[in-house]
Chains A and B, each alone.
Chain A
């Protein structure tokens, strides 16, 4: 069946920070650039970023990109590629100042320079003392960034396809990427976007977990499309969690609540942190608190009908103190847990926040795969940036405020690489394969004709609950293995989803089914990779890989200082070396990650 074809020099999927930054580069180079987005660009999840963007501008005190690089390598628990990390930290000042010139309203010092605030993990002189490195626009940095870059794109004539959903990557017989298929929501019609180069900037996939801070749009569309197109996924076992999100909702409860005297309790009302951290108790580090919460839940002492959360209790505090020091918490409790925290404890659970792994790229934003003995061979015409990509700068854990920096630096570098690649191509596009849209059409046809199938919402919930219980913030050997088997069963349910509404126009049921096709790829990659990695490193912490003199904190550099690559075909795993060699400076040598 033939479908309409639209032709561009470059197609970008996703209009968050990374997609918008890359689009500026392409459109300002005079290339015809299309940006496909499920939602209006300024409603992308980048809007949720509050903390700021890291850059060693040194506006308030001495700072240096090399110190930033050290903090990032250490944060990554040495799994980050040191060439990419050096590249990012060196580029930080340039992209932040460019953003300022685009009109980004950064907070300022009296001198007029960009104000910089301290942030966890930002240190001067290779871990010596805290440094002010984060550049912010009040608590709406992501929001301001999206607006500044969207306006710049409008000026540059970027063509936006808003309320369109990309469906599949198109590769020709040589494996080169020549476009994507996408559905216009208003009509339900499928189009081919024929391009010389394609960038995925689709954000994270935090919705694979039951408790997630991610917006509903974060369904890993680019990651799922890449996996279906035969691209392996890198380091998907690494996800950043916060200890206290509202159970069943995901909205974060600030750690300040425990600082003000909040107590964590299990089903019998016990203050369980006294057993895990007798001195620090509820003020123990984020990792210790998260692990204790999960242990309580796994050992049957969780609260609620499903025994799947614990309680954060502030009822013993003076209501006047709560209203004065924690005004937002009462509002969050009432709005998202149906609980007045002054009178009743809040249900909380460790909550997924950020995806460190993704589509493998180098620091030029080129997607790279193992080929002919080279573990990082670029796929011609294919690029990725932002949370959906794995450059890899975050390694096993991300340093705060490096997420916005990642999307600026790698959005720009991917855009630059695409400009160079496109300009080196012949004037005519590489031809589309004859069956370019067949795969997408067959997926939609399957959905439209499915009978006696599974419900999308219930299947998604089964996946989310399985991932939360079996592959959450603290991982147990037996539960991981059991979780793999459960997720593979749920995959079969996903392959048989049925929608009652078969209409074409703005059929949100169909869109959610297509999103679930992407989420399940991410879930499989995550749990299969986590099950195989038998060490603890960064955000991947297992009960059977504990602290020993040979393996501090359970990290096993002899066997596991390597990147995971998960292949959809047969759930196969292979590994590639971590790049320990920076571009110009000496390697930051392995040592125990301690703060």
Chain B
């Protein structure tokens, strides 16, 4: 793993950029996380969970965030609940 992968500023920037999606609906939900200051308030563990959640494709992620589908990873439930609530 190179240095950049461990740099907190890189990680935070990458996380913020991964909130840019192909679907407007997801942009709008994730914008509340990015612009509301919530991203900075998340623990390192929560940020890792969000980062993992953002790896889902847009169609699946929107279904999860909208509550139409459950996330297949139970350990991400806390972050899913947070996104559904923002």
Contacts and interface: CB of A to CB of B under 8 A. Distances in A.
Interface of A: 38-39, 42-48, 140, 143, 147, 163, 185-187, 212-217, 249-251, 331, 335-336, 503, 505-508, 511
Contacts of A185: 13-14, 17
B1 interface: no
30 contacts: A39-B22, A43-B57, A44-B22, A47-B22, A47-B59, A48-B23, A140-B59, A143-B58, A163-B14, A186-B10, A186-B13, A213-B24, A215-B20, A215-B23, A215-B26, A217-B22, A249-B28, A251-B28, A335-B25, A335-B29, A336-B25, A503-B9, A505-B7, A505-B9, A506-B10, A506-B12, A507-B13, A508-B13, A508-B16, A511-B17
B4 A217 contact: no
B47 to A, nearest CB: 14
Most buried by B among A42, A43, A143, A511: A43
A216 B58 CA distance: 14
Contact of A506 (B14, B22, B23, B59): B14
Contacts of B20: 38-39, 43, 215-217
Nearest to A163: B17
Most buried by A among B9, B13, B26, B67: B13
Given A335-B29, A508-B16, A46 B22 contact: yes
Nearest to A212: B24
B21 A215 contact: yes
Contacts of A215: 20-24, 26-27
A187 B5 CA distance: 11
Nearest to B2: A186
A214 B22 CA distance: 8
A506 B7 CA distance: 11
Contacts of B26: 215
Contacts of A46: 22
Contacts of B16: 506, 508
Nearest to B57: A42
B9 A48 contact: no
Contacts of B29: 335
B10 A505 contact: yes
B8 to A, nearest CB: 10
Given A143-B59, A506-B14, A506-B16, A187 B4 contact: yes
Contacts of B27: 215-216
Contact of A48 (B14, B17, B24): B24
Given A147-B57, A215-B21, 14 more contacts: A39-B17, A42-B22, A43-B22, A44-B22, A143-B57, A143-B58, A214-B24, A215-B23, A216-B24, A216-B27, A216-B31, A217-B21, A335-B29, A507-B13
Contacts of B21: 39, 43, 215-217
Contacts of A143: 57-59
Given A47-B59, A143-B57, A251-B28, A186 B23 contact: no
Nearest to B14: A506
For the complex of A and B, list the 6 residue pairs with the smallest distance between their C-beta atoms, beginning with the closest.
Answer: A506-B13, A47-B22, A43-B22, A216-B27, A143-B59, A47-B58
Nearest to B84: A335
B25 A506 contact: no
A381 B59 CA distance: 36
B53 to A, nearest CB: 13
B22 to A, nearest CB: 4
Most buried by A among B14, B58, B66, B67: B58
A149 to B, nearest CB: 14
B49 to A, nearest CB: 19
Interface string B30-53: 010000000000000000000000
Nearest to B30: A216
Nearest to B54: A43
A101 B30 CA distance: 36
Contact of A251 (B24, B31, B57): B24
Nearest to A140: B59
B4 A186 contact: yes
Contacts of A250: 24
A249 B32 CA distance: 12
Contacts of B7: 505
Contacts of B12: 506
Contacts of B22: 39, 42-48, 215, 217
